[in-house]
Amino acid sequence: TSQTSINNRSRLRQEDSPPRIVEHPSDLIVSKGEPATLNCKAEGRPTPTVEWYKDGERVETDKDDPRSHRMLLPSGSLFFLRIVHGRRSKPDEGAYVCVARNYLGEAVSRNASLEVACKYAISLI
């Protein structure tokens, strides 16, 4: 029976697959204080873990800090309860990618930019 369990285990391993991104995030223009979602969906076996990076830095979500205004949804998408944007601090604006990983490797999504829309447009005319 020990031989059987070894065969079963190697068969399971063969069914495992590296992550692949099946839904990429899209560029967003959002008003300050509004909610927003950057979509990301990854497949793989075992189910990949998803992390987000903004301008090359890992994004902190509610998984790191329960008080964070950024939530990592079960699907892998990044949800902003509200877009934070001040004169000095623009923590949400930037270029985002999601990275899905399992023991077989990682997959990186396309870049998506999140821009904060100005409440007023300055006319140059």
Token pair for residue 89? Answer: 């601090």
Does some domain include residue 54?
Answer: yes
Does some domain include residue 87?
Answer: yes
Give, in degrees to the nearest 5, the angle at Cα 48 between 66 and 65: 10
Does some domain include residue 125?
Answer: no
Does some domain include residue 1?
Answer: no
Token pair for residue 27? Answer: 């560029």
Does some domain include residue 55?
Answer: yes
Give the bridge partners for 50, in sequence order.
100
Give, in degrees to the nearest 5, the angle at Cα 73 between 68 and 76: 120
Report how many domains make up the chain. 1
Q: How much is the pLDDT for 118?
A: 77
Average pLDDT on 30-55 reads 97
Token pair for residue 115? Answer: 């821009």
Residue 72 structural domain: 17-117
Does some domain include residue 97?
Answer: yes
104 three-class SS: coil
Give, in degrees to the nearest 5, the angle at Cα 66 between 61 and 68: 50
Average pLDDT in the chain = 90
Q: How much is the pLDDT for 14?
A: 78
Contact between 85 and 92 (Cβ < 8 Å)? yes
Does some domain include residue 89?
Answer: yes
7-30 pLDDT tens trace: 555 555 679 999 999 999 999 999
Average pLDDT on 38-61 reads 98
Does some domain include residue 12?
Answer: no
Half-sphere CA count of 75, side-chain side, radius 13 A: 12
| CATH at residue 63 | 2.60.40.10
